[in-house]
Amino acid sequence: MLELKQCCSVPFPEKLFEAYEIKDNVIYANVNASKVIDMIKRFVCMHDEPVFFILELPRKDYDGITESKTLKNAPEDFDVYYMDGMDAQNACNCLDAIGAFLVGDGMNTFGFGCHQSQEEILFGKYNVMTLFAKDPDAYRPFMESFEIPYTDKLITAWDTFDAQHPGECELCISPNTGKTIYDIPELYKDFGMYLYEERKEYRDGIEKPITYDELIGKVLLVGITYYTSDDQFIEQKQLYGTVTEVTKALIRIKQKDGTEFTLPSDLSSTKRARPGEYKLRSTGEVVVDPDFLATWNLYKGE
């Protein structure tokens, strides 16, 4: 039977066992809580490239990173936080510090992603782990090393729920500090943790695509992470301004001091911003209610 995380309960635990299945480029797995940290550490150490920490939290009403957030009742709404520029040692240190707390909590999803290979590993509610990979078959030995067997039909806790028999997730409160997962963005903001995007996708479908025309005249907040040509983290910058020009070649933004900067016209890195206050780590300036957010990874030549 599956060893469930501390703050999750299911109506039919006897139906759940460790196993994994592969669908397209994703591995879905039931994983015992006691194995999660070691699995994520192993995944990170397998990748000789920069990684970023991912933390998904159920949406709270937001006015900046404050203690006054209130949990919303819409379970499909998530705030997604990133912490960039990490190597394997940084990632393992992070897991040593807060990993057990995150595994026990019933509300969050967390894990790590890779900048270059774009592979990710995430652990979420009811002990479901997802691993995104270009070649998921290459991870069969990885899963087997943790004694997790393959199955053609994985039964997760989600498959056992109905209106009369729902699952229950609870917020874990630290007995030592009284803090919860919602304190983590504030605690780690000086280490570079930032709100990356809001997600509203699990039940409401795909968000309406952003068009070039609707960018004109809108405020765009841009986060740029710089790396050397051999993937070494250099620095992070945040800029914002009003979009004054959009062509097939570039997006031109005018900052409040009149200076301009340009971005490629690729909109794949641009998201709609949720109303709120966004504090620039480099200057301490607060940007109120930007219209769009964009994140870029840029590599400097030798």
Q: Give the chain's mean pLDDT.
A: 85
Packing angle, helices 88-104 and 36-45, rounded to 10? 160
CA atoms within 13 A on the CB side of 27: 30
What distances in angstroms separate CA 101 from CA 95, 98, 179, 187, one per listed residue?
9, 5, 10, 14
Tokens 């999803």 belong to residue: 109
Residue 207 in this model has a pLDDT that exceeds 60: no
pLDDT value at residue 63? 37
**CA dist., res. 261 & res. 269, Å (int):** 17
pLDDT value at residue 74? 47
pTM: 0.65
Residue 65 in this model has a pLDDT that exceeds 70: no
pLDDT value at residue 202? 37
- Name the percent of the chain lying above pLDDT 90: 46
Residue type, 280: L
pLDDT tens-digit readout, 108-130: 999 999 988 889 999 998 999 99
pLDDT value at residue 131? 96
pLDDT value at residue 282? 65
Under DSSP, the state recorded for 138 is G
pLDDT value at residue 183? 92
**CA dist., res. 141 & res. 300, Å (int):** 36
Q: Which residue has the higher pLDDT, 172 or 62?
A: 172
Tokens 């709270």 belong to residue: 60
pLDDT tens-digit readout, 254-283: 999 999 999 988 888 788 876 667 777 667
pLDDT band for position 37 (cuts 50, 70, 90): very high
Q: What residue spans define the domains of the chain? A: 8-200, 213-300
Residue 25 in this model has a pLDDT that exceeds 80: yes
